[in-house]
Every structure is written in C-alpha cells, then in structure tokens.
Amino acid sequence: MSTLAIGLCGVLVAGGVMWKAGSFAKSVVQPAEAAANTPTVLPPKRPLPIAAEYERFVPEGTAVANRDDNLPQRDLNAQYRSYLDSLPAQRGEVIATYKTSLAGNDAEGRVKNIQLANSKLNGMLLLPGEELSFNGALGDSNDPSAGWQLATVIVGKKFEQGYGGGICQVSSTLYNAVKQAGLAITERHTHSLPVGYVLPGNDATVSFPELDLKFVNSLGAPVRVEAKIAGGQVITSLHRLPEFNYEQK
C-alpha cells in the first residue's frame, strides 16, 4: 500500500477514527458513541390534546391552544365529561311518541320477548351523529340462553314458531317514533306479510343478523330512547336532551 493510501485510509484508535489534516489529528465520534455520551433530556410533560370524539365541541379559536399550555383543551375535556355524566338524570324534551297495541298479540312468550327488547333499548343515549343498531342493542335474539322465548314469527310467506318472536313490534314502534322525530333512518326492512299492529308500509322487521333497523341521531343534541309496555300498549318515546355548551374561562 502506498504512503498516499495510508494517509487517506487513516489510523484506527480506541474511541473513534483518526484522520489527518496537515499536522494534527482529530477524533471522529461515531453516532453510537455520541448517543451514549449525550445526557438524557426528557420532554416536558404536557396533557394530551382533546380527544377526537370531543373535537366537534371545541369552539373555534380554542382547538389549538398555545403549545406550552393547552389548558383550554383540558378545561373543555373536563366540562364535557361532567356534561356526559349529567345526561342520564336529564328528563329532556319529548320529541316523539309512538304506541302500538298488544291486543291479539299478547301470548306469554311474545310479551316476554317484547319486555326483554324494551329493557335493552330503554335509556339508550345517542350523541349527535351516533347510529343505533336495533340488532346491536338486543344481541342475538335467536339465542334462548339470552332469555328469548318461542313465539310466532313470519318466515317467508308463513307464520312459524321462533325465538325472539314479537320483537318486530318493538322495532316497528321504534321506527315510527324515529320517523316522527325526523331522525335519519339508515336501514329498514318491511315484513313479507301484513302485521296487525301498524298500517301497511309502516313496519320495520328485524332478523338477527341479516335484517336490522338502524338510524342516526341527526340532531345537534343527544337523544334518549324510552321503551316500555303500559296499558296494553308498546310505547316508544324519544327525548331530546340539553346540548353541550362550553363555558370558556
């Protein structure tokens, strides 16, 4: 190897690579060595930004706070959590009520299925933009271990016995209340045969998991579902609850 080659390749020494420039040598520090010798500097602890589900409630101008202080987001987050906690106790304004009669449809298994379906729907809260799935709320209505009873169901063009029979009266009652309230219906199916508890074309059949009733809370305020049996009728009411108002400090 020539003298020139030796000069260009440099000389290895402990702690780094030596290179020559004129009459002095300088150590080139390798990245791994630099990292090992750099003191650990922890970033300042700051609260996380407002969660995505709350962003639509952030007033314009406070969504992006000063980088060193996101107190507005924390304050809004705390206010919104407190607001959510208060909703179950709010009576709200009744914006729709629909009733269907149990007369002629009061077989024991059928009524028990309606009561069970109502118990799963009653008290459900939908925030603005949220969607309710009837099947999602009830679960598998074909499963007897979940409490569903045998009752009359429509299969094709005939009546048969099946688990969960009667819940279509609950879904149809809910459908008409939702339509009355003007909420956005995203899925709905009609029976293959007429039913006696609503006028033709006003029913909403469900069959887990294929056929569902779905709707979206298209209002600017939360909506609560109230579902019950009273006076021989299946009754569904929708309550509009107070909107969230951020009190900027």
Q: Which of 42-51, 76-85, 114-123, 192-201 has the lowest mean pLDDT?
A: 42-51
pLDDT computed for residue 11 by the predictor: 37
Location of structure tokens 């449809």: 105
Count CA within 13 A, CB hemisphere, residue 31: 0
Which residues share a beta bridge with 161?
152
Q: Which of 24-33, 71-80, 132-141 has the lowest mean pLDDT?
A: 24-33
Which residues share a beta bridge with 183?
none
What pLDDT band is residue 50 in, cutting at 50, 70 and 90? low
In 3D space, the residue among 129, 128, 130, 132 whose CA is nearest the CA of residue 244 turns out to be: 128
Longest Cα–Cα distance in the chain? 109
- For the CA atoms of the chain, what is the radius of gyration? 33
What pLDDT band is residue 81 in, cutting at 50, 70 and 90? confident
Which residues share a beta bridge with 126?
223
Indicate the angle between helix axes 108-121 and 167-181, nearest 10 degrees: 40
How far is 39 from 176, CA to CA, in rounded Å?
67
> In terms of pLDDT, which residue wins out, 158 or 65?
158
How far is 219 from 238, CA to CA, in rounded Å?
12
Q: What is the pLDDT of residues 7-22, one digit of tens each?
A: 333 333 333 333 333 3
| Residue 231 confidence (pLDDT) above 70 | yes
Q: Which residues contact 129 (CB under 8 A, 6 or more apart)?
A: 56, 216, 217, 218
Q: Which two tokens stand for residue 18?
A: 């030596």
Give yes or no for a contact between 126 and 223, defined as CB atoms under 8 angstroms apart.
yes
Mean pLDDT, rounded, for 133-157: 95
Length of the chain: 249
pLDDT computed for residue 158 by the predictor: 85
pLDDT computed for residue 238 by the predictor: 98
| Residue 5 confidence (pLDDT) above 50 | no
Give yes or no for a contact between 164 and 141, defined as CB atoms under 8 angstroms apart.
yes
Q: Where are the domains of the chain?
A: 3-37, 52-87, 93-240
Q: What is the pLDDT of residues 177-228, one digit of tens each?
A: 999 999 999 999 999 999 999 999 999 999 999 999 999 999 989 999 999 9
pLDDT computed for residue 13 by the predictor: 37
pLDDT computed for residue 77 by the predictor: 80
| Residue 44 confidence (pLDDT) above 60 | no
